[in-house]
Structure 1
């Protein structure tokens, strides 16, 4: 299937590790030109080196939580490409707490997992409106609280904000969707949450109907489809990629 993405410009945040490099690679394989955003330039350079020349990768080295970051990011992307068709808000992180968590932890989690991505999206929306085309895909996380995790509330906030934004921007040819990953192999999963192969296999056997923990490409292919013109009637949705692990039907 031709996803009609050739020549489109995509900005992928959190592009240096985990899901980000694979999302970037899948979009590049579909013909997108790419802006890769993260804090660690050496890792971004490694990601860019693995992409085809047609991706024309722009490296945007920014901490998205700093003041003015969204405007600086917008200016770099539009300055290079003159447009931004696709935003993949992939930067974020889980914040499990052994206790209730401090105010500082909760504020940092909300800034990283909600406010920063919202600001980037709002900065880029006018350019998308001018082009009468845009795709905003938010990589979020579970909002089923299994315990105190300061990232759960921002995940829920993203889902509600994205739904509202989709209703406002639908007539401009812009869609807004969210993808909460289940357990998918990533730096965070492999080093912090399920740090051994035995732990990963045991968890998958107990919790995942598909019987295994997903690979980043399992999620990246959905990002590419949602980013395409073919997905024009899919907006305001929260689509779980988790091998069936989620127990709720909505």
Structure 2
């Protein structure tokens, strides 16, 4: 199965022109979101410099400064030659990145997070997105995208599960018809992923999550808005309970 269906750009909710005055900082934030969300898989290549700079509305000089920071943090590496480019490095459970410095940076980010604020905002956005998708219905292409995202979580190797889980939730946010909601969800999901990287993967929890995913997608496709919202609340509550248990 293809990683991304034809015509679907997973980077759209994240990559957008930066505002004048903070080009470097905002571009760094957006590319970090791409990496933290797994929108480009481990070992995968980021878009070419010309495309990235164009989408962000910055010069290639500024972009190279951003990529240099990411390289120094052990998150990406640059390769030369015909098949060169900037590639996302594997993350590990211990470091969340490419080494001790990246792991320390992740721990600092997690320590600064207001856990309850993140969990509540995540719930508001996801419940809203699920309700909108169900209430307004999905096109044939949208329904196919959602089913494919669900299917990919079912056959995911353990090491890939969280990335594919992220793709499913991002797909739901994108399909709700509000680009602003999708962008906000991408940002909060990146923070949520930082938190999830600090707790173990529990097989029993993943099995339960998969049953919830299936029920949620079925409710959306059946245009059962109340059922979709209720299942989303239940799903968010399960994740919240795990995070509170491990991190507080």
TM-score, length-scaled by structure 2 = 0.35
- Greater per-residue strand proportion: 1
TM-score, length-scaled by structure 1 = 0.35
- Greater per-residue helix proportion: 2
